[in-house]
């Protein structure tokens, strides 16, 4: 029988858009890895009626219910009282919780404010999970094989209580199905063209294949209960789609690039116009990138293109700053200036202004230059300024990966 898991997140700030709910994705990932994937999640306001009615509904239909948020010591923290009322339990004072709260203040040479005494009140028959990084204890209740966990909304406290208590409780109380998740990352193909390519390939019954469109590319997620059949199925997809697969699992394009460049003892420089530093920001975001990345130039104005990258004025006059010809000279120029073995360049129109009928907003030119050749591309991306820049930056990194792989 499949264990049903629900997460209830309480907090106006989540619904007003002031805070992104990273607690759901964090708990969701942990539970999926444990073999207890979340069935559904509900976000509600800090209001007693909403808390109690949602709790009633979800406790009826699920085996495990998580509640996060509203456990602080101030007036707008209502969760604990609502839970006690729903289960018909009185709140009782727990000395060990009070000791644990005082310890946190003593450690910082502070007197414990009286308002924190409320943190030591725990519903009868509930276990208090002592919080080592904050004042609100976690709460755990078990009844007829069902479990309720209430956790503070502050991510660092929630993660501590899950990791140090709840994970073990769940592993002992339930016999989760093992779960295996693999991801294939593709590029240079639309979701529909990839679907066309993989037509006829259906996942076996105990496995799910999910299509996850990212900005400008598609990921395929395989989810199943048997490790070797998940890997087999991934292999079957890879065989058909290998020309558009650039990486697996948690890899980002810049991770794959870094591994390849260091393996092959290559160094890189970058000349960017429309991407304005994003390509180099992605590259240098990875620790150890200085092992292959030398540096580069953001040539936003034409003056910098000519003065620092040696792009010819006549090239700019004849073909324009957004042209294959300018991209090629930019890539060649930065490689010469920095003595790197390979270089890449971007120049384009990120918008919202600057488009023309021949070169609409989203037009971006790319070049790769090495000691043997210069190759170039021109593409038109859809979207707003931010997504055009993002797609262009990822595209040039993926193009470079393909180029380096071909070099062998």
Q: At closest approach, how far in Å is the CB of 408 from a second copy?
A: 26
Q: Using CA atoms, how far apart are residues 253 and 283, in angstroms rounded to an integer? A: 9
Q: Mark 335-354 with x for binding to a second copy (rule: CB under 8 A) and - for no binding.
A: --xxx-----------xxx-
Select 141 or 275, whichever has its Cβ closest to a second copy. Answer: 275
What DSSP character marks residue 198? T
Q: How many CB atoms lie within 10 A of CB 392?
A: 27
| Residue 280, Ramachandran bin (φ over 0: left; ψ between -120 and 50: alpha; else beta) | alpha
Q: Rule CB under 8 A: is residue 108 a binding residue for a second copy?
A: yes
Q: Among 145, 204, 213, 235, indicate the residue that binds a second copy (CB under 8 A).
A: 213
Closest distance between a second copy and the C-beta of residue 270, in Å? 7
Nearer Cβ to a second copy (102/142):
102
Q: How far is the CB of 384 from a second copy (least distance, A)?
A: 7
| Residue selected from 98, 306, 387, 402 as contacting a second copy according to rule CB under 8 A | 387
Nearer to a second copy, 45 or 229 (CB): 45
Q: How far apart are the first and last CA of the chain?
A: 51
Instruction: Decide if residue 378 touches a second copy (CB under 8 A).
Output: no
According to CB under 8 A, which residues from 238 to 277 bind a second copy? 270, 272, 275-277
For the chain, give the number of residues.
408
User: Which residue among 190, 231, 242, 318 contacts a second copy (CB under 8 A)?
Assistant: 190
Of 109, 105, 106, 141, nearest in space to 122 by CA: 141
- 90 vs 212, which CB is nearer to a second copy? 212
Q: Which stretch binds a second copy (CB under 8 A): 88-96, 240-248, 381-389, 399-407?
A: 381-389
Q: Which range binds a second copy by CB under 8 A, 80-88, 140-148, 215-223, 228-236?
A: 215-223
Return all residues near 329 (Cβ < 8 A) that are at least 6 apart.
309, 310, 311, 312, 315
Q: Give the bridge partners for 224, in sequence order.
A: 180, 207
Among 99, 215, 242, 318, binds a second copy (CB under 8 A): 215
Query: Is residue 356 within the footprint of a second copy (CB under 8 A)?
Result: no
Q: Is the Cβ–Cβ distance between 166 and 141 less than 8 Å?
A: no
How far is C-alpha 312 from the chain's CA centre?
42
Contacts of 82 (CB under 8 A, 6+ apart): 48, 51, 52, 55
Interface with a second copy, residue 295, by CB under 8 A: yes
Instruction: Identify whether the C-beta of residue 151 lies closer than 8 Å to the C-beta of residue 161.
Output: yes
| Stretch near a second copy under the rule CB under 8 A, chosen from 68-76, 324-332, 341-349, 369-377 | 68-76
Distance, in Å, from the CA atom of 211 to the CA atom of 217, rounded to the nearest integer, reads 11
Among 52, 89, 221, 264, binds a second copy (CB under 8 A): 221
Contacts to a second copy from residues 16-35, by CB under 8 A:
16-22, 24-32
Counting residues that bind a second copy (by CB under 8 A) gives 116
Q: Which of residues 160-179 bind a second copy (CB under 8 A)?
A: 160
Q: Which residues contact 292 (CB under 8 A, 6 or more apart)?
A: 258, 261, 262, 266, 267, 268
Region near a second copy per CB under 8 A, out of 139-147, 226-234, 255-263, 376-384 = 376-384
Distance of CA 114 to the CA centre of its chain: 40
* CB distance 126 to 139 below 8 Å: yes
Binding flag, residue 107, a second copy (CB under 8 A): yes
Quote the least distance from Cβ 329 to a second copy, whole Å: 15
Query: Rounded to an integer, what is the distance from CA 123 to the centroid of its chain?
Result: 37
| Shortest reach from residue 295's CB to a second copy, in Å | 4
Within 315-334, the residues that bind a second copy by CB under 8 A are none
Between CA 323 and CA 347 the distance in angstroms is 7
Is 296 one of the binding residues for a second copy (CB under 8 A)? yes
Cα-based distances in Å from 50 to 46, 47, 163: 8, 5, 28
Q: Name residues contacting a second copy, limited to 298-317 (CB under 8 A).
A: 298-301, 303-304, 307-308
């Amino acid at each position: 029988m499949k264990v049903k898991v629900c997460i209830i997140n309480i907090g106006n700030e989540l619904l007003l858009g002031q805070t992104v709910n990273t607690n759901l994705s964090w708990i969701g990932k942990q539970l999926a890895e444990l073999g207890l994937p979340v069935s559904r999640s509900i976000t509600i306001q800090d209001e007693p009626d909403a808390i109690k009615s949602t709790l009633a509904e979800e406790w009826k239909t699920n085996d495990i219910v998580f509640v996060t948020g509203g456990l602080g010591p101030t007036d707008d923290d209502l969760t604990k009282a609502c839970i006690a009322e729903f289960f018909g339990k009185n709140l009782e004072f727990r000395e060990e919780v009070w000791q644990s709260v005082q310890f946190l203040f003593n450690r910082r040479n502070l007197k414990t404010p009286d308002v924190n005494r409320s943190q030591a009140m725990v519903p009868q028959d509930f276990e208090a999970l002592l919080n080592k990084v904050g004042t609100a204890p976690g709460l755990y209740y078990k009844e007829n094989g069902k479990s309720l966990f209430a956790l503070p909304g502050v991510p660092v406290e929630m993660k501590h209580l899950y990791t140090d208590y709840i994970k073990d409780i769940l592993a002992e109380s339930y016999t989760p199905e093992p779960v295996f998740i693999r991801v294939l990352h593709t590029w240079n193909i639309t979701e529909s063209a990839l679907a066309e390519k993989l037509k006829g390939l259906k996942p076996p019954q105990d496995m799910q294949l999910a299509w996850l469109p990212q900005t400008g590319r598609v990921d395929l997620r395989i989810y199943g209960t048997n490790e070797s059949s998940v890997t087999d199925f991934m292999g079957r997809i890879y065989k058909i789609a290998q020309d558009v697969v650039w990486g697996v699992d948690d890899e980002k394009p810049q991770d794959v690039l870094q591994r390849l460049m260091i393996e092959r003892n290559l160094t890189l420089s970058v000349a960017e116009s429309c991407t304005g530093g994003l390509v180099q920001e992605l590259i240098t975001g990875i620790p150890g990138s200085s092992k292959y990345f030398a540096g580069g130039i953001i040539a936003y104005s034409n003056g910098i293109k000519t003065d620092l990258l040696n792009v010819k004025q006549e090239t700019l006059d004849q073909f324009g700053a957004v042209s294959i010809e300018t991209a090629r000279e930019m890539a060649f120029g930065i490689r010469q200036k920095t003595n790197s073995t390979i270089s890449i360049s971007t120049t384009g129109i990120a918008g919202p202004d600057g488009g023309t009928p021949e070169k609409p907003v989203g037009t971006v030119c790319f070049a790769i230059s090495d000691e043997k050749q210069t190759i170039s591309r021109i593409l038109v991306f859809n979207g707003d300024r931010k997504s055009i820049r993002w797609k262009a930056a990822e595209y040039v990194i993926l193009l470079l990966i393909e180029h380096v792989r071909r070099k062998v």
